[in-house]
């Protein structure tokens, strides 16, 4: 029996993540009983055009084929309600950053959708946080620091009479 793994793209152009790069897709595609499908343009915003996935053996398909035809779907951000209820077939395994910890409604929707949901933020390896989340958290911390430094240099925030100058401090939490 062949397992079909789908690499889903993100829902908005502001999200520039891809969980499986072509090199990881190649590792899966070389396996005897695994077929890899990549959603059209899933990696385009991060420098992986469709051809880079096709070159390593992934079939390029549309969103409907990813959610309705694959046994397992990997995605960075949580799937939308549309993807869960209208595109997913029952029993699909979805592996993503679910953000479910703060939303009872989303957890209920996941249960009702009848998918097997695996949340990156709760997966560990050797007792440590899952590598995808570690990278994501590191990038978030870097961007927070960079934006803080950028805005700290602009005088309009502290140039109003009576406003104290800004002090920016940072420490690594990784």
The pLDDT tens digits for 69-78 are 999 999 988 8
Indicate if the alpha-carbon torsion angle 137, 18, 111, 108 is positive or negative.
positive
pLDDT of 89 reads: 83
Nearest to 97 by CA among 85, 112, 79: 79
Using an 8 Å Cβ cutoff, are 22 and 56 in contact? yes
pLDDT of 150 reads: 57
Domain ranges of the chain: 3-122, 124-174
Q: What percent of the chain has pLDDT over 70?
A: 73
Q: Given pLDDT bands bounded at 50, 70 and 90, which one contains residue 106?
A: confident
The pLDDT tens digits for 8-24 are 998 877 777 888 999 99
pLDDT of 159 reads: 53
The pLDDT tens digits for 126-166 are 776 655 555 555 555 555 656 565 555 555 554 555 656 55
Contacts of 79 (CB under 8 A, 6+ apart): 8, 67, 73, 88, 94, 96, 115
pLDDT at 6 over 90: yes
Mean pLDDT of the chain: 80
What is the CATH class of 3-122? alpha beta
pLDDT at 80 over 80: yes
What whole-number distance in Å separates Cα of residue 5 and Cα of residue 28?
8
Q: Given pLDDT bands bounded at 50, 70 and 90, which one contains residue 88?
A: confident
pLDDT of 124 reads: 72
Residue with tokens 């933020």: 121
CA-based angle 14:16:21, to the nearest 5? Answer: 165
pLDDT of 141 reads: 58
Strand ranges (E), 21-134: 34-39, 59-61, 72-77, 93-97, 116-119, 124-125, 128-129
Which of 58-62, 71-75, 79-83 is the least confident region? 79-83
């Amino acid at each position: 029996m062949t397992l079909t793994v789908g690499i889903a793209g993100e829902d908005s152009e502001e999200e520039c993540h891809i969980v499986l790069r072509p090199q990881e897709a190649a590792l899966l595609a070389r396996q005897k009983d695994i077929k890899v499908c990549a959603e059209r343009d899933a990696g385009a915003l991060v420098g992986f055009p469709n051809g880079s996935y096709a070159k390593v053996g992934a079939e390029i398909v549309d969103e409907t084929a990813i959610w309705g035809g694959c046994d397992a779907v990997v995605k960075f951000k949580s799937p939308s309600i549309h993807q869960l209820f209208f595109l997913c077939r029952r029993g699909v395994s979805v592996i993503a950053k679910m953000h479910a910890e703060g939303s009872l409604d989303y957890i209920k929707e996941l249960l009702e959708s009848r998918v097997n949901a695996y949340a990156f933020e709760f997966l560990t390896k050797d007792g440590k946080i899952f590598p995808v989340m570690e990278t994501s958290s590191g990038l978030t911390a870097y961007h927070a620091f960079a934006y803080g430094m950028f805005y700290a240099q602009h005088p309009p925030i502290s140039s109003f009479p009576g406003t104290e100058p800004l002090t920016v401090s940072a420490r690594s939490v990784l």
